[in-house]
């Protein structure tokens, strides 16, 4: 995860994009920690898995807590020294099985003084959020927050006006996808349920109902489902059966069965039953578990536009994914 963001920041030519993506990852981590519970051992970077179904432990925790640890270490020793360490690490452990103790020892070999100051047990074994809250440069987020604030204010307009000034509203269209994602996340995180009229105005301005970027599409759908915007149902159902990543599929079903749209819960359950065989077995199992935990609470009303059945187009060590020698060789 850390390496992914490092590559992206270099491509974008601005380290602030690393921080933006990292801040989005922190939102995913907070959501998973809240879902599990702050004291749940499955939120540890090294969770005890004996007697635990590995499928139950799947979350953003190893990705985002692992990324935070690597970024913390990078900031402790300096970016360039850490990148050199990373290259040496890949060369040393390429094509080998890596364990946490080996990573820790290798870091201590290269940075003995700094390694002594790291509270490894807290990073690896303490549940909840990371023990150190890293600060991110979010200056690129300031215009995002301003636009989100303008749309929220428009949603609250007592005269029913829900259109933001064109010059300000147009900012969104010129942003890269990361800032667009943050805009939608900002609207969601404020906790204010936007009016249907405001969401319709946002759709008219940015054509989000036809968005193909999965990250943006997902954030838009959950924003609309929370508000009860029924016009999003066909889009949500289509994404649920054409996007195979559990990162999207599980939350989509959870939002569908708990949103205030009449008939949405029953439609989601019917959709899953009709299409469950196209999912990966782990995804199928986890969605079924999520649905079983949620009672059918809405009226038995059909929701127009739900797509038919179709075929899918689509922890030993916290950072095993960093051993990617070919990618590193082509990157540096």
Select from 318, 316, 247 the least CA-distant residue to 70: 318
Asked whether the beta carbons of 268 and 260 are under 8 A apart, the reply is no
Q: pTM here? A: 0.68
pLDDT in tens, 143-176: 999 999 988 888 776 554 556 776 677 889 999 8
Cα dihedral: 157, 160, 164, 166 (round 10): -150
CA 3, distance to chain mean position in Å, is 17
Residue 298's pLDDT band (boundaries 50, 70, 90)? very low
What pLDDT score was predicted for residue 330? 37
Say which DSSP state 53 is in.
-
Q: Identify whether the C-beta of residue 173 lies closer than 8 Å to the C-beta of residue 208.
A: no
E strand or H helix at 30, and its extent?
helix 16-36
Q: Which has the higher per-residue pLDDT, 141 or 192?
A: 141
Lowest mean pLDDT among 80-84, 177-181, 230-234, 295-299: 295-299
Calculate ∠ Cα 259-260-262, nearest 5°: 110
Q: Output the 3-class SS for 126-194.
A: CCCCCCCCCCCCCHHHHHHHHHHHHHHHHHCCCCCCCCCCHHHHHHHHHCCHHHHHHHHHHHHHCCCCC
pLDDT, residue 157, reads 64
Q: What is the pLDDT averaged over residues 99-108? A: 96
- Residue 303 is classified by DSSP as -
Distance between CA atoms of residues 3 and 1, nearest Å: 5
Asked if residue 117 has pLDDT above 60, the reply is yes
């Amino acid at each position: 995860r850390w390496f992914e963001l490092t590559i992206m920041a270099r491509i974008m030519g601005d380290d602030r994009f690393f921080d933006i993506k990292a801040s989005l990852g922190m939102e995913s981590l907070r959501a998973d920690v809240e879902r599990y519970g702050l004291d749940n051992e499955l939120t540890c970077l090294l969770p005890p898995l004996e007697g635990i179904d590995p499928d139950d432990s799947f979350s953003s925790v190893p990705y985002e807590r692992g990324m935070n640890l690597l970024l913390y270490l990078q900031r402790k020793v300096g970016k360039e020294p850490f990148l050199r360490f990373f290259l040496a690490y890949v060369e040393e452990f390429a094509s080998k099985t890596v364990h946490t103790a080996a990573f820790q020892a290798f870091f201590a070999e290269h940075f003995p003084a700094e390694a002594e100051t790291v509270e490894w047990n807290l990073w690896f074994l303490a549940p909840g959020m990371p023990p150190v809250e890293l600060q991110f440069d979010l200056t690129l987020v300031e215009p995002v927050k301003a636009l989100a604030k303008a749309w929220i204010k428009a949603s609250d307009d007592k005269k029913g006006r829900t259109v933001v000034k064109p010059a300000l509203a147009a900012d969104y269209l010129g942003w890269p996808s990361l800032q667009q994602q943050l805009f939608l996340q900002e609207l969601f995180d404020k906790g204010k349920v936007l009016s249907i009229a405001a969401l319709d105005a946002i759709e008219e301005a940015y054509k989000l109902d036809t968005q193909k970027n999965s990250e943006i599409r997902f954030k838009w759908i959950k924003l609309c489902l929370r508000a009860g915007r029924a016009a999003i149902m066909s889009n949500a159902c289509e994404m649920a059966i054409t996007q195979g990543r559990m990162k999207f599929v599980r939350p989509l079903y959870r939002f569908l069965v708990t949103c205030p749209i009449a008939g949405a819960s029953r439609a989601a359950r019917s959709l899953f039953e009709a299409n469950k065989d196209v999912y990966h077995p782990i995804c199928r199992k986890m969605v079924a578990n999520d649905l079983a935990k949620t009672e059918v609470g809405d009226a038995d009303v059909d929701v127009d536009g739900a797509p038919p059945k179709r075929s899918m187009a689509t922890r030993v060590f916290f950072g095993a994914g960093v051993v990617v020698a070919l990618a590193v060789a082509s990157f540096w």
